[in-house]
Chains A and B, each alone.
Chain A
Amino acid sequence: MYKVREGYFSWILHKITGVSIVLFLLFHIWGMSRMSKGPEAFDAVIAAYKTPLFRAGEVLLLGAILFHAINGVRLILGEFTVWAMEKNKLLAWLAYALVGVLFLVGAYFMWRAEG
C-alpha cells in the first residue's frame, strides 16, 4: 500500500501536521464565529491572540503548514510526473531544507512583530 522507506518520515509527518492543522481549523472557525458578533467580541478574541501562548502556537502552526504545504507539493509532483518520482529522495531533502529556512525566517519575523 505505502512504501515504508525513506518516505516514511515525510508520510507520517504529513499526517501529524495535517491532523494538527484540522484541530487548528476547528479552533480558528470557532474564533471567527465569536469575532463576527460585534466589535467588543472581536477585540476580546484579538486580545487573546496577542498573548504569548497564542503567539507561540502561531509559530508552531507556521511550521506545520509550511511542512504540509511544501511536502504536499512534492507528493503531487511525484504522483503526476515521472521526473519527480525518480528524483523523489532529492526533492524530499529539498523540501526539508526549504521548510527549515522558511520556518526560521518566518518565525523570526512573527515573533519580532509587535504583540
Chain B
Amino acid sequence: MNSGGSKGWLLQRISGALLFLMLGTHFYLYHYFMGPADWGFQSIGYGATDLEALKALALADPSRSTYYALAGLFANPVWKAFDIILITLGTYHGFYGIHSIIDDWMTHNTRRNLSNWLVYIIGFVLWVIGIVSVISFNPQLV
C-alpha cells in the first residue's frame, strides 16, 4: 500500500524517542529555567558577549525579563540549533502521524493522495515558519 513504509515507520519511532528526550529539556528551559528572575545562564554554556547588558536591561524593566531571558538563551547558537532540531523532529513526527491516520482511514485513492499532499504541504510550511522564527529572533537591545 505504501512503498518505503518501513523506513517511515522506523523514522517515526526514532523521532518519537528523540522528542521524548528533547521535550523534557524544552519544558525545563521555557517553563522553569526562564522563569522569574532566574539568571543562571552560565551553567548551560551561555555564549553571549553582552550578558551583563542583558542583565542590566532585565533589571531595569522586569516586565520584559522573559524577552531578555530568551535573548540570552538564543545568543548561544547551540540553543538555536536545539530548537531548530526540535521543530524539525516535531513537525516531521506530527505530520507523518497525520499521514498514517489518513492512510489507515481513507480508502478512496484520489482523496487519500490529495489529503496526504495537503498534509505534507501544511507540515512543510509550518516547518519553514518555525525555522525562520528561530533564526530571525534577533533581540533588540534598546
Contacts and interface: CB of A to CB of B under 8 A. Distances in A.
Contacts of B91: 25, 29
User: How large, as a class, is the contact surface on chain B?
Assistant: 20 to 34
B140 A38 contact: yes
A39 B64 contact: yes
Contacts of A38: 140
Given A25-B94, A39-B67, A33 B20 contact: no
Contacts of B20: 69, 72-73
B136 A36 contact: yes
Nearest to B17: A76
B98 interface: yes
Nearest to B122: A26
A114 interface: yes
Interface in A14-58: 15, 18-19, 21-22, 25-26, 29-30, 32-33, 35-36, 38-39, 42-43, 46
A43 B90 CA distance: 25
A113 B101 CA distance: 37
Nearest to A68: B16
**Nearest 5 CB-CB pairings of A with B:** A22-B94, A36-B133, A32-B133, A29-B130, A36-B137
Interface of A: 1, 15, 18-19, 21-22, 25-26, 29-30, 32-33, 35-36, 38-39, 42-43, 46, 65, 69, 72-73, 76, 79-80, 110, 113-114
7 contacts: A18-B94, A18-B97, A18-B98, A26-B126, A29-B130, A46-B67, A80-B13
Interface of B: 13, 16-17, 19-20, 23, 31, 35-36, 63-64, 66-67, 70, 87, 90-91, 94-95, 97-98, 101, 104, 126, 129-130, 132-134, 136-137, 140, 142
